[in-house]
């Protein structure tokens, strides 16, 4: 189980980032001891109880790169490898 906390409320209450595991939009972020603010990543309420710390990307850069690889080409792209 990974601890999570709600992000600071903004105009958009539905959340602003995608979960690092399932990619659902969520207002929750990890709260892992030993990691500073730049090493916390978004994690939804559904994934948090079942996730292990080893499953969570090490920092925001690793999380962004994972999302970038997953969504690099649109489904209809003729250049998709």
Q: Give all strands (DSSP E) within 1-81, no chain letters.
A: 4-6, 17-18, 25-26, 28-30
Rg (CA), the chain: 14
For residue 29, which phi and psi values (nearest 5 degrees)?
-125, 155
Has residue 9 got a pLDDT over 90? no
Position with higher pLDDT, 40 vs 8? 40
Task: Say what percent of the chain tops pLDDT 90.
Answer: 40
CA end-to-end span of the chain: 36
Percent of the chain past pLDDT 70, that is, above it, reads: 75
Residue 75: the pLDDT is: 62
The H-assigned helical ranges of the chain are 60-70
Domain residues of the chain, as ranges? 4-62
Dist. CA 79–CA 19, nearest whole Å = 28
């Amino acid at each position: 189980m990974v601890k999570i906390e709600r992000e600071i409320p903004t105009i958009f209450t539905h959340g602003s980032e995608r979960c690092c595991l399932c990619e659902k939009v969520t207002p929750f972020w990890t709260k892992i001891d030993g990691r500073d603010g730049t090493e916390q990543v978004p994690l939804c309420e559904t994934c948090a109880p079942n996730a292990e710390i080893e499953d969570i990307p090490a920092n925001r850069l690793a999380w962004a790169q994972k999302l970038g690889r997953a969504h690099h080409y649109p489904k209809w792209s003729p250049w998709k490898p």
